[in-house]
């Protein structure tokens, strides 16, 4: 697995082991991870800290020039909130672990000029599928269903 996707997956796994929604993300600026995080719905009762949002929060305040020279990695296809955040800050590229368990707003990102690369990584697919099987109600809540 790509080293940065591995780091995002490690975040997802940390989330799963803590009883949370196993979606992780890292933000990479010029080859270095500047933010990382995972979904905090279960652990912190947060409806906004999806994986990507947690990584953004961890990276803290950054200028537009940093985001525009960064890549965001996420284990699962980004929902409308996370896609909107990626669009707001002008990331040129998103690397997605998989979109089999959930297809987010990849097309909208592409329409906005963002490069979207989907790895269909087996580890990401299996961990997410396992969580959805074990906690369908939490998963539905996480995607507003």
Contact residues for a copy of itself, defined by CB under 8 A = 41, 45-48, 53, 56-57, 59-64, 67, 79-85, 87-90, 105, 140-141, 143-145
Cβ–Cβ < 8 Å for 57, 86 = no
Least separation in angstroms between CB 110 and a copy of itself: 15
Residue nearer to a copy of itself on the CB measure, 71 or 85: 85
Which residue among 11, 17, 52, 115 is the active-site one? 52
Long-range contacts of 42-48 (CB under 8 A, 24+ apart): 42/18, 42/138, 43/15, 43/18, 43/19, 48/81
Least separation in angstroms between CB 5 and a copy of itself: 22
Q: Which residues pair with 116 in a beta bridge?
A: 94
Residue nearer to a copy of itself on the CB measure, 31 or 60: 60
Which two tokens mark 80?
A: 């409308």
Half-sphere exposure of 20 (CA within 13 A, CB side): 23
Residue 52 is among the residues annotated as catalytic for this protein: yes
Least separation in angstroms between CB 87 and a copy of itself: 4
Residue nearer to a copy of itself on the CB measure, 6 or 62: 62
CA–CA gap between residue 71 and residue 120 (Å, rounded): 18
Report the catalytic residues: 52
């Amino acid at each position: 697995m790509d080293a940065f996707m591995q780091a995002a997956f490690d975040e997802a796994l940390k989330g799963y082991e803590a009883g949370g929604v196993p979606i992780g993300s890292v933000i990479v600026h010029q080859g270095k991870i500047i933010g990382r995080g995972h979904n905090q719905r279960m652990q912190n009762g947060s409806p906004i800290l999806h994986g990507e949002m947690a990584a953004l929060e961890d990276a803290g305040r950054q200028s537009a020039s940093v985001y525009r020279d960064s890549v965001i990695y996420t284990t699962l296809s980004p929902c409308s909130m996370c896609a909107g955040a990626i669009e707001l800050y002008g990331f040129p590229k998103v690397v997605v672990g998989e979109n089999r368990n959930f297809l987010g707003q990849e097309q909208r990102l592409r329409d906005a000029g963002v490069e979207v690369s989907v790895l269909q990584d087996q580890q990401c697919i299996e961990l997410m599928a396992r969580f959805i099987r074990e906690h369908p109600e939490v998963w539905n809540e996480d995607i507003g269903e």
